[in-house]
A = this chain, B = another copy of it.
Amino acid sequence: MAGSGKEIEFYFDFSSPYGYMTATRISALADEFGRTVSWKPFMIGAVLKVTGGTPLPMVPLKGDYHTRDMARVARLWGITYKQPEKFPISSQAPCRLIYWLQKNAPEHQEAAILKLYEAYFVEGLDISSPEVAAKIVATLAGDEAELVAATQDPEMKEKLKAECELAIEKGVFGSPFMIVDGEPFWGSDRFDHVREWLKTGGF
């Protein structure tokens, strides 16, 4: 984490396979260019209300294609991935837990994000459940009861709401979404463009 300390803002929804895959790589990319990652879990559903979009799995033709593409990108990237039976899910509880960690134990947030993602996309656990999500996070920080309570904490509710509103203000409409020095990049398929941007200082 040496270097300028300038951030890569990394927006992601816990129900997003492309968000999961990119989350496994974003930290190494940041390190490579002396950046830090600003982890921004958000709710894609809040954005779809603005864009008038439909959750990807529900779109005719496109939904089926992406089911195939998600597994294919995972194989290409060498990432273990299993399409969960319950998909998509609401990511309120895990999002609020990450904002709780940012306040109380920020050093554990990356590990918690990856554990939550793996629980959902590898083990098929329903991390939309406050109890399930709290149990996973408790292996890193906090205790289960405290963490379950955090998912209903008015401060964390407000924080998540504010972050979703800020995301929309910044033009974030999908997951993953990366912002580098004001430049927006959407999708795991723009990961290499982010690298090129960091390498060249923009193109």
> Which A residues form the contact surface with B (CB < 8 A)?
47, 50-54, 59-62, 64-65, 68-69, 72-73, 75-76, 168, 171-174, 184-187, 189-190, 193, 196, 203
* Interchain CB contact under 8 A, A72 and B193: yes
B60 & A184 in contact (Cβ 8 Å cutoff): no
For this complex, 21 residue pairs linking A to B, each with C-beta atoms less than 8 Å apart, are: A47-B61, A51-B62, A52-B54, A52-B60, A53-B62, A60-B173, A61-B171, A61-B172, A61-B173, A62-B174, A64-B171, A69-B185, A69-B186, A69-B190, A75-B203, A76-B193, A76-B196, A76-B203, A187-B189, A189-B189, A189-B190
Which of B54, B72, B203 meets A203, CB within 8 Å?
B72
- Work out how many copies of this chain go into the complex: 2
Give Cα A51 to B68, complex, Å: 17
